[in-house]
Structure 1
Amino acid sequence: MGDTGSYAVSAEFYDLLQAERDRRLAERRFAGAAKRARRSILDVGAGTGIVTEVLLRTSSVPVHAVEPAPAMRAALLSRLARLGADQRARVTVHPEPLEAAGLTDVADLAVASNVIACLNPATRRATWKAIAAALQPGGLLLFDPPPDRLPDETEPAIRLGPVRVGPDLYSADLTRRPHQDLVQAVFTYRVERGEQVLREERETFDMWPAPAALLSQELRCVGLQTVRAPSADLFAARSPAL
């Protein structure tokens, strides 16, 4: 999300530098649950559609892809355009935030990948309420949780790429740093040709830490009960069965 939180910078670089990693994560985290879905799947914060594509490929049910950021939604629709007509027919793209989408009792699985950490507490609570409304009785929610606390200091940079496109190398450095009560994730993107830096652009994501106990409490407040997640890097909750 640039310094304005719009993904205006990152959308250009996202798939090139992160798609393969995100696809592997999505397959490991969500494919098993998607295969068991029988009604529909809710993809909260679909981004460029990497998770959406995995959900479509591993399930036979409709998918509701919620993506309010125009830059990411453009990439999502471009990805959907490359899929077969049968898969595209199973996707509904929602261009508004989930709490404004009005989805009620539509899904037996909801997933949120790489999004919950970027919601401020009020929006996060509104999102839980909207997910609870969208889930059928017994429906499952899976998401990767926010960091549980602020880092003590700026963490060492993580390198993404480089990836070659013609004569150019695309890369990014990701740095996480504490800032007041937030974690700031700063992406510095570079395009290099030989020894020359053609472009350098930066975008900052704000992330709100939330310990597991707080997440469980928030989920209980909307009627979702924490359950054992299928992998250690996920958080899971269920809507009560009838």
Structure 2
Amino acid sequence: MDPPSRNRCRQQTRQHQRRVCRTTRDASAQSSAGAGERGPTPRSRLSVTGEPAVKRLYPLVRELAADGIPVAVSCRVLKLSRQPYYRWLATPVPEAEVTEAYRANALFDAHQDDPEFGYRYLADEADAAGQPMAVRTAWRLCSDNAWFSVFGKVPAKNGKRPGPPVHDDLCVVIDADGQARHEFHATAVNELWLTDITEHWTDEGKLYMCAIKDVYSSRIVGYSIGPRMKARLAVDALEMAVIRRGGDVAGCVTHSDYAEVFVNPRNPCLS
């Protein structure tokens, strides 16, 4: 059999190019038509945040190759390089995306267990679960997936300032300049307690300590130590303070900056 002529090869190449262009237009039309529908359009892949636009065309090249169109023709029409395509074909899911998926899963599990935690505490919980990450990475993943603390402020709308805190702050006062600030004064014991949580690095990991101080006597009336930032840490410190003060602390105000830990619906000392 005689080899195909040069004109015949050119004709086949033009047919492949027209087929690739027609397939690309059909895919674009389906994507535009299905913009208001729920779920992805058929034969398309969900886009990943931060994914280059070039990689979104690689599945199309693979489908055209399965239909008999050479990869060289598809890459030339779509203005793609073949070497990156073959690298993507060897590993369609990069290792970085797999690592990020495991981190997001750990953050999601921690958020489901403690919805009052912010992204910093969720990062600590993910670290304890075996998925360490930077605080900035935890913030980005939580922000992209809308995993916010249930005790956060009301988000701003229309350029306005965010709303007031969801919990009452009984120690705040308004000065002569109209600025809000805190004043901590007490005229008797068990009238106002201040509490805070600190963390310390050890050879075995982080160690958290919660302490409660009576403003009137300036004494530590309760404390607790634990390896994790959980609601139990605040509960143990409050229980110790109540027991050491005889159990009658009705009307005592406890002030803390860690609202997501102390203002907890599962905290029996505050219910």
TM-score (norm 1): 0.23
With a CA cutoff of 8 Å and minimum separation of 6, indicate the structure with the bigger relative contact order: 1
Looking at secondary structure, tell me which structure has more strand per residue: 1
Largest Rg, 1 or 2: 2
